[in-house]
Chain A
Amino acid sequence: MKLNSKIPEGPIEKKWSNHKFHMKLVNPANRRKYNIIVVGTGLAGSSAAATLAELGYNVHAFCYHESPRRAHSIAAQGGINAPKNYSNDGDSVYRLFYDTIKGGDYRAREANVYRLAEVSGSIIDQCVAQGVPFARDYAGYLDNRSFGGAQVARTFYARGQTGQQLLLGAYSALCRQIDAGTVKFYERREMLDLIVVDGQARGILARNLVTGKLESYAADAVVLATGGYGNVFYLSTNAKASNATAAWRAYKKGALFANPCYTQIHPTCIPVSGTHQSKLTLMSESLRNDGRIWVPKNKDDQRSPKDIPENERDYYLERLYPSFGNLVPRDVASRRAKEMCDNGYGVGATKMSVYLDFSDAIKRLGKEAIKQKYGNLFDMYKQITAEDPYEVPMRIYPAVHYTMGGLWVDYNLMSTIPGLFVLGEANFSDHGANRLGASALMQGLADGYFVIPYTMGDYLASNTFKKIDTEHSAFKDSESAVEKTIATLLENNGTKAVDEYHRELGKIMWDYVGMGRNKKGLQKALELIPQLREEFWKNVKVSGSAAEINTELEKAQRVADFFELGELLATDALHREESCGGHFREEYQTEEGEAKRNDKKFSYVAAWEFKGVDKKPTLNKEPLAFEEVHLAQRSYK
């Protein structure tokens, strides 16, 4: 398949404005004739649904929760980037663009990243207008803090609950449109298939999670804003319901899946405490502004951290990276923590954690100042571990957090299926091989508020749409296929629960496709995953029926897709014989243990094409051209 990224002509700073001028428009009076389905109502989906409705389109928004406010965007803590230069430290659109390209280890599309940086300032203004209570100083001005991978303070925040406040802002905009009747909201619906008619995305099949009924919905275009696939690892910082099913079913209908091996491991998470663990809790990266990361110099130091004198501590990030110190990008901080633990320097009962120590900051700024900044995070930590971080250092360990890979989209955020648009974490486009902190909220809202409203109009105005309804055979075929899968799962009289399989899959993924990957391990994963998948289909036990609320059935379908996705992730990781960002192949590292890219061979987007469950997917390549930023080995020293 020939991939056309549709990057506009012209110098990088003019591309988006030129493109906006050249795109076709839909006359305001005609917009109400178009129906648009938006699946997922987190930051990207809510902002897209609200904005498209404001423009006059008929929007149908689908959500598997009872309310958009439950989406996992709500859990983002730290902040959102925008190059407003309020801190007067030399920030600019170009610098944010540059930091993001570099932070992504030169594996993102320049034009997309520039546009992201360009529109990010408007996001802050928009959110302020909605009543988002961003942190302010005493004179009333917006406050900023710094984040990993940047040397300027450009992160806007609302205590440690920035994602919550931004989501509630987008949700309030959506509420307003629901009230106005321009958005029809469908709660507790899970998309189980994409409907493609004559090559165009024309609708979805969804299961009503309360009645269990399969419902068909037709439209002129479909927007997926369904998040990432971090839960393929079972233990991750994602919410329990976060899943890849909508994106995966679109992949199986012909949308290409790009760079699945780019997965981000977040360095500051609360370590695993036992086998019962159901998820991992992240604590904002902003903690690294004031917390210092260290391990004892002596491997078997049994003393309490407070009794270990300064000269017997190894502040390894400050030692290895004097200019960025504790604020190196996430992938670097995570890998170094793993290395310390693998080499026996870890702390805590399992020796699988490192200290994050606030005692210096408390001495310098006072307990009250630290409480103001991080109070909720400290409380959360104490609640989970029963240890007080004001008194003893936190113990942290990396955990799967964000997935940079996702459905392939062009500059207009359209997938390889015409009429199927993909926004937010569900697409692959802006973060390359590693996402910088405070950039996920930025991308989700940029896509929803400021990109899709334009590119959707261009698509609708440039194409013709055959009249179809849900009686069309494409809907009926899809319904019977999904019905059959559900029946198979329910009739299977197996012996193991869905969670048990999910946990086993997660263990394979973490052991062989996790933070450090190598050829042998990846090949092993590619043997083990299909074996376990086969066993799952023979031996899984799903109780209850299809015609009611059935949380086990919901999970079973999601896990079934994770088996297939996990295999693709490992396939992609095996093929990419280089290290870049979140993809670390142990065979490819510099003498100092940093990721070693191979730009000559791998400076491309790997977009995979589905060929059948037991068949090898086809690799399509979109070459990445770097015209603005000079390719270099990332250095944070």
Chain B
Amino acid sequence: MKLTLQIWRQKSKDEQGTFVTYNINDVSPDMSFLEMLDILNIELVKKGEEAVAFDHDCREGICGSCGVMINGRAHGPGRGIATCQLHMRSFHDGDTIIIEPWRATAFPVLKDLMVDRTSFERIMQAGGYVSAKTGGIPDGNTILIPKPIADEAFDAAACIGCGACVAACPNSSAMLFVSAKVSQLALLPQGKAEKSARVQNMVAVMDEEMFGSCSNTYACEAECPKQISVTHIARLNRELMASQV
């Protein structure tokens, strides 16, 4: 396949960025999207130009490092996949593909397609844990968690922290991300003791970090590579409300 790529190039956090057009030939449909960028980068480097910077690592959809807007969609076409799991068979010969970084005030661009998602870290540090110290813990089977509850907690816990929910949301809201953790720990008996403080602290930091509010567009669920359900947002709202009464 021959493709035209329009890629966002931005030297650093403080400089202006712009789209640059590249033509790329010999793209195989079996290539992954990131392998297609690898090939472009090798060509650029050999010409003495700078490689396009993008975050990526495991390339199997679990580390949450990768994530770009492809033709306006977070992680590109297809449901339930991260950018690294997208294959070029989803495109056609002659296509133009527009590739840009996540756009959100809380995710400043570091370079090209790479953004700073440490705002997520600060939310997690505010309470995304059970305060269990190492050692002195009773046997795992002393806490019984019936399968349906364990399964629902798992569905929430599957979040990979990629930020697609924020990128897809017209308000740049991080509600799906925050709710995934709050919901997981609210469902499990281990998380009950700290549940009020957890939800309040995490939501407070979410607001400080300039993420927007949720207006129920459900774009987050549609683009989430782990297909995390917006019902967790409902549980977050419920938990927040309950913690305040």
Contact = CB atoms under 8 A, between A and B. Distances in A.
Contact of A69 (B38, B125, B154, B161): B161
Contacts of B130: 129-131, 172
Nearest to B123: A175
Interface residues of B, number: 80
A384 B87 contact: yes
A468 interface: no
The interface residues of chain B, by DSSP majority, are classed as loop
Given A66-B116, A75-B58, A133-B153, A543 B50 contact: yes
Interface in A117-164: 122, 124-142, 158-159, 161, 164
Contacts, number: 222
B190 interface: yes
A431 to B, nearest CB: 22
Contacts of B118: 66-67, 187
Interface residues of A, number: 85
Interface stretch (B29-37, B212-220, B229-237): B29-37
Contacts of B62: 74-75, 161, 164
Contacts of A552: 41, 45, 51
A129 B44 CA distance: 50
A240 B35 CA distance: 11
A140 B28 CA distance: 48
B51 A168 contact: no
A79 to B, nearest CB: 14
B205 to A, nearest CB: 10
Contact of A54 (B12, B42, B134, B190): B134
A72 B190 contact: no
B64 A69 contact: yes
Contact of B57 (A65, A175, A281): A65
A632 interface: no
Interface in B122-175: 124-135, 137-141, 143-148, 150-151, 153-154, 157-158, 160-161
Given A140-B145, A544-B50, A380 B45 contact: no
B81 to A, nearest CB: 6
Interface string A218-259: 000000000000000000000111000000000000000000
A74 B191 CA distance: 22
B73 interface: no
7 contacts: A67-B117, A131-B191, A165-B154, A172-B124, A179-B125, A239-B57, A274-B28
In the A-B complex, list the 10 residue pairs whose CB atoms are closest, starting with the nearest. Answer: A140-B144, A172-B129, A129-B132, A128-B140, A136-B150, A133-B154, A239-B57, A179-B125, A125-B137, A133-B153
Interface of B: 11-12, 28, 30-32, 34-35, 38-39, 41-42, 44-46, 48-51, 53, 55-65, 80-81, 85, 87, 89, 110-111, 114, 116-118, 120-121, 124-135, 137-141, 143-148, 150-151, 153-154, 157-158, 160-161, 184-185, 188, 190-191
